[in-house]
């Protein structure tokens, strides 16, 4: 979800933001750097979601993933010989 905000900033900050391709992304990145606890909470939430995803996988899905990884490694290590 996103929220549109209108803010006033000093001239030097405005000049920097205007030079960025995506001012929203630049502001978001800067604010997130000063909000480490919120960032850690998001990272914990993502890790928990990934853990749930892995726990819900069947042994067949896990084996299929293992085979795909091994096949990809074989191709990368030996070239494109099938």
With bands split at pLDDT 50, 70 and 90, how would you rate the model's confidence at 80? Answer: low
- What is the pTM assigned to this prediction? 0.43
pLDDT reported for residue 23: 92
Return the pLDDT at 2.
84
Q: Given a cut of 70, is residue 79 above it in pLDDT?
A: no
User: Would residue 42 be called left, alpha or beta, if left means φ above 0 and alpha means ψ between -120 and 50 degrees?
Assistant: alpha
Integer Cα distance of 62 and 50 in angstroms: 14
pLDDT at 75: 83
* Residue 82 scores a pLDDT above 80: no
């Amino acid at each position: 979800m996103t929220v549109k905000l209108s803010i006033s900033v000093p001239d030097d900050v405005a000049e920097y933001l205007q030079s960025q391709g995506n001012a929203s992304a630049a502001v978001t990145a800067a604010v997130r750097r000063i909000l480490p606890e919120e960032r850690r909470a998001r990272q914990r939430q993502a890790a928990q979601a990934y853990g749930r995803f892995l726990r819900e996988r069947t042994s067949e899905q896990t084996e299929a993933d293992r085979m795909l990884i091994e096949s990809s490694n074989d191709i990368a290590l030996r070239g494109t010989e099938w």
